[in-house]
Structure 1
Amino acid sequence: MTIPRQPLRSFAQSVVETVRHPLVVLDSHLVVRAANSAFEGTFGIALGDAVGSSFMELREGGLAVPELLEMLLRVVTTGEAFEGFEVSRDFLGVGRRELVLNARRIYADDDPASMVLLAMEDATAERMAREAVHQLNIELENKVRERTAQLVVANQELEAFCYSVSHDLRAPLRAIDGFSRELHDAYLERLDDTARHYLKRIRANSQRMANLIDDLLHLSRLGRADMNLELVDLSSIACEVADDLRRQDPERNVQMSIQSELIVEGDERLLRIAICNLMDNAWKFTSKKSHATITVGRSDEGKGVEYFVRDDGVGFDPKYAGKLFGAFQRLHHEAEFPGTGVGLAIVQRVVHRHGGTVKAQSELGKWAMFSFTLGGGSRE
């Protein structure tokens, strides 16, 4: 770089004042000849005190770094420029500064001696930001470890609760059902119609409570069960479920349409549970029709592949579709369509474990369709 026609001080000041980083012009003896206001602000030294002083002695020798001195002298003598030299120093009254230095040789027309243009980027704020991010990461990791420990304890407590539900609550329910059954078998003929009705209700509700406990335990365990990902044939599973449903109620006239080669990646046991619940749901809500159709298939329309179970049963009001996947949510009276209201919540839990989504669509009185996507992985 050659400075033309005007005195060095005037030219240097007009250039360096336009730069927001500290800039200094040094002579061949590394004495400050010019500096910009950014230098004054960064190092807390008046320009009048800086000009004419040895650069290495500024701020009580705060910049007297042996390696930096050698590099600056090489710039003067050989013209060997340098870039990206990092210096971390403490300055009295200013604090610690993280500097990135660049330097090259320059000449003035009226001075044959070489000089040095030294640019200094104050990276202190960037360093502080990195340290803050590092500290936040440490705190986050600590919180994650703490939260993980809390989840372990919570899971252990949930396991203990499930054990209690499984054993402590089932025992009195079995007693209620057992004694009511004995009462039914031994004394039914001696009871009047009102007593028989009460006995029937006792048995029905004790059995419903047992089924409800089973479904709740099932739902709670789905979120903790280990997943074994493999290729799963949903078509084969759907055919098996269809055969089971026909055996349970062979008098029904239901056409089952199951698309072939519905191959997915997932946990076979969990996906079987989901398909079973969806098809059982379709079977139940088509029970009022003399001839019904249940379809299991896939759709490639939209953003990705969806798998669905569709029926031409009673359907539901679409504005309540979002409520269906909550536990105990029902849109039909239990007396009309028995159930615990947990089946679709189980389906949603299985689909979410696979990183997918599930949705419900319907036209009231005509049809209903439940479709889901699978992400192919586990999401806890």
Structure 2
Amino acid sequence: MLEFENLGYAQTLAQAIVNTLHEPLLVLDSDFRVLAASVSFYRSFQVEPTQTIGRMLFSLGDGQWDIPALRTLLETIIPERAAMDGFEVEHDFPGLGRRTMLLNARQVVYEHGPNTTILLAFMDITDRRRIEREKALLLAQTEELLRQKDTLLKEMQHRVANSLQIIASILLLKARAVSSAESRQHLQEAHQRVISVAEVQRHLHATTAIDQIDVGAYLTKLCASLASSMVGESQPIGIEVNADPGQIGSDTAVSLGLIVTELVINAIKYAFPAPRSDGLIRLSYKVDGDGWRLTVSDNGIGKGGAAPAQPGSGLGTAIVQSLVKQLGAAIEQANSAGNGLKIVITRPGSVALGPTAA
């Protein structure tokens, strides 16, 4: 250890060490009189050494350090604990304005002698606290905007559902009023499509997720709803859903829901022209990496043993084909086991959807 020839050398070294510190620092005696101060202290609080050294801390400047919280720290806490970290003080300092300081204090007890020294370090955290308040305010504003958005979204969903129900009712009334059988059929099909869109929206909005939908639960509920609304006691048709677990975006869910609705409705309406007890529609959704395969099949009359046909040209088929294209998928139609019909829609992995994708 370096030995000093006299106390003056030790004081010079101690002052040099104090001056190298970036944060303001005071060295106080047991009576809170300033023994030394760092250059950063003079610079930060705009005071001179002649106004600082030898004076009581609480009388520095115009009494700007005569802060009750600081007195508590030095007179009560330090004697009991010998150290204190992170003691926060907020005060109006002349020439500086209102500042927030973080104080760290240490009591130094010497082995030989009754005297003690207190090291008091200051950290200006005014800007940090301001940023934290701004972030908290921004977070609160964001949460309020999200709450308002959620309220508006629910209101919009409610209005859309009501509008769809009104449109469906009007179409049904018109279908009953027209004399042409062909017009009546077209109006009834339009009515059913509006109802199916309403069902898709209702199932999507029943979930608590904002953008991700549990595909298995979604398709199961959708098919159950279609079965309850379209399958009667005179023509019992079962609908089975087998879906791999996973999440899909709400935009993809809308398109899938509309596709499934069209295919299931067509199967219910056309695959079983005569009542039978074993009528069954199967829906399968299989995940392949980031791609998927949707299959809707039935054990109905199929194509009468004909070769696999391409999808027809009706409105329902046009809707399905358009949605399949938007999803970047491909559609195939074939006879299924039991001479029924099977529709397979495949979306390969790593397909980038275009700007019009649903």
TM-score class normalised by the smaller sequence: 0.5 to 0.7
CA displacement at 1:51 relative to structure 2: 2.9
Cα deviation, 1:54-106, whole Å, max 9, x if unaligned, reads: 21122422222345335435799788233232222221221222222222234
Cα deviation, 1:155-192, whole Å, max 9, x if unaligned, reads: 343243223212234323443xx3113xxxxxxxxxxx
Show the counterpart of 2:313.
334
Show the counterpart of 1:135.
137
Equivalent residue in structure 1 for 2:82, among 80, 83, 96 = 80
SS at match of 2:317: coil
Distance 1:224 1:342, change over 3 A: farther
SS at match of 2:35: strand
CA displacement at 1:127 relative to structure 2: 1.8
Mapped to 2, the partners of 1:76 and 1:107 lie a distance apart of: 12
Show the counterpart of 2:167.
165
1:341 corresponds to which letter in structure 2?
A: I
Show the counterpart of 1:224.
205
Question: Which is bigger in relative contact order (C-alpha 8 A, separation at least 6)?
Answer: 1
Cα deviation, 1:89-137, whole Å, max 9, x if unaligned, reads: 221221222222222234899x984322111222222222222122223
CA displacement at 1:219 relative to structure 2: 2.9
Paired residues in the alignment total 289
Show the counterpart of 1:377.
none
Show the counterpart of 1:352.
none
Cα deviation, 1:315-366, whole Å, max 9, x if unaligned, reads: 9xxxxxxxxxxxxxxxx6634x843626997x9xxxxxxxxxxx87558799
SS at match of 1:155: helix
Mapped to 2, the partners of 1:159 and 1:282 lie a distance apart of: 23
Alignment of 1:248-327 (within 5 A): 277=261, 280=264, 309=295
Show the counterpart of 1:69.
71
Structure 2: give runs of 5+ residues left out of the alignment.
209-213, 248-256, 272-280, 298-306, 335-342, 348-358
CA displacement at 1:18 relative to structure 2: 3.2
CA displacement at 1:233 relative to structure 2: 12
Structure 1: give runs of 5+ residues left out of the alignment.
182-199, 249-257, 267-272, 288-293, 316-331, 348-358, 372-380
Contact 2:82/2:106 (8 A) holds in 1: yes
Mapped to 2, the partners of 1:363 and 1:158 lie a distance apart of: 30
Distance 1:214 1:24, change over 3 A: same
Contact 1:35/1:51 (8 A) holds in 2: yes
Distance 1:170 1:225, change over 3 A: farther
* Residue 210 (structure 1) aligned with residue 191 (structure 2): yes
Identity %: 22
SS at match of 2:98: strand
Mapped to 2, the partners of 1:298 and 1:27 lie a distance apart of: 79
SS at match of 1:12: helix
Distance 1:89 1:67, change over 3 A: closer
CA displacement at 1:17 relative to structure 2: 3.3
SS at match of 1:223: helix
Distance 1:340 1:46, change over 3 A: farther
Distance 1:29 1:156, change over 3 A: same
Distance 1:154 1:8, change over 3 A: farther
1:309 corresponds to which letter in structure 2?
A: T
Alignment of 1:173-212 (within 5 A): 173-175=175-177, 178-181=178-181, 202=183, 205-212=186-193
Distance 1:364 1:10, change over 3 A: farther
1:179 corresponds to which letter in structure 2?
A: S
TM-score w.r.t. the length of structure 2 is 0.58
SS at match of 1:146: helix
SS at match of 1:129: helix
SS at match of 2:180: helix
2:60 corresponds to which letter in structure 1?
A: L
Show the counterpart of 2:304.
none
Distance 1:208 1:32, change over 3 A: same
* Residue 123 (structure 1) aligned with residue 125 (structure 2): yes
Equivalent residue in structure 2 for 1:35, among 16, 34, 37 = 37
CA displacement at 1:280 relative to structure 2: 4.0
Distance 1:71 1:157, change over 3 A: closer
TM-score w.r.t. the length of structure 1 is 0.55
1:37 corresponds to which letter in structure 2?
A: V
| Structural RMSD (CA) | 5.4
Show the counterpart of 1:269.
none
Mapped to 1, the partners of 2:219 and 2:205 lie a distance apart of: 24
